[in-house]
Amino acid sequence: MSEPGAAGPSPAAIQVSRIMRPDDANIAGNVHGGTILKMIEEAGAIISTRHCNSQAGEPCVAALARVERTDFLSPVCIGEVANVSAEITYTSRHSVEVQVNVMSENILTGAKKVTNKATLWYVPLSLKNVNKVVEVPPIQYARKEQEDEGKKRYEEQKLDRLETKQRNGDVILPVINPDRQTKEPHTVGYSQSSLIHLVGPSDCTLLGFVHGGVTMKLMDEVAGIVAARHCKTNIVTASVDAINFHEKIKKGCVITVSGRMTFTSNKSMEIEVFVDADPFVDEPRERYRAVSAFFTYVSLSKEGKPLPVPQLLTETEDEKRRFEEGKGRYLQTKAKRQAQMQQQAAQQ
């Protein structure tokens, strides 16, 4: 075992594989985005926890703090194998950056395709004290530039997490399921949805708080319900904006996962999803905002072709404001994608 404080070699990448079953998929046979997100988080948690316990010190478990934007590049189908590989690419004193790639494999033909790429951030929490963040063993970098680039990403995500927490702290009221008979189709109120879940032992880590992957799967389910109610077609997850885990959710909490439509383009829908926790067991505390994110969905025909999305009808000033904010995020993402395509074309 390495000496405490000594930089160890970069841990080897790990791979988690699982065949996709019918209960992993939607009615069209495409695997739910939440299922893939859960596998991504599991792989990240394994490699982060292993690394953080690789040197002498307090035993700890790595907890998910943030997931950067991730795009669903290609659907995964029932019967295919999802191969999730994870590698640590940067460590700060108290956090770990993990890069994860997902590749689907048709085990009958051997055909493979990349379906997802994601970046996750973890913090190690002591087994003795869930509120104590322990120090992360440093890793060795092949080049100094890799460390500098990682530090830049670390500072950017740290700033964004702070801004998001301030913006989403207690400002958004929990969504109450409306009487849809009184709502017009394609309005925010018509499609908004909530899911209530009691956190049990099977949802939790060794420290008794919820796995990030469990939370993300529930968030994707709610976002999918909102999208399906809005367009009444088959829908799939196209991308997820940064997911920020503001506070831990402990065993025994009742969580309310709420989703509402914020923006629609011609072929996509942005859904805001947030998770509020009500502690009931051993800790009488007021409801608090635990997680927040934006999911983007697309509508598909029975043949899997993109369909036009019904435009969102905004009714209140808050809905109009959120629509314009969503439009700004959409245009920013579109501009980044076009710049990347131009850069790739120039390199060829």
Three-class secondary structure of residue 315 per DSSP: coil
Give dist(CA 128, CA 145) in Å, integer: 36
Give the distance, in angstroms, between the CA of residue 121 and the centroid of all CA atoms in the same chain. 11
Q: Is residue 131 annotated as a catalytic residue, yes or no?
A: no
- Cβ–Cβ < 8 Å for 113, 104: yes
Please pick, among 24, 203, 220, 241, the residue that the annotation labels catalytic: 220
Q: Is residue 220 annotated as a catalytic residue, yes or no?
A: yes
- Cβ–Cβ < 8 Å for 8, 140: yes
Q: Which residues pair with 77 in a beta bridge?
A: 30
Tokens coding 171: 């400002």
Give dist(CA 24, CA 42) in Å, integer: 16
Give the dihedral sign, CA 40/41/46/51: positive
Please pick, among 26, 160, 168, 278, the residue that the annotation labels catalytic: 26
- Cβ–Cβ < 8 Å for 300, 222: no
Catalytic residues: 26, 220
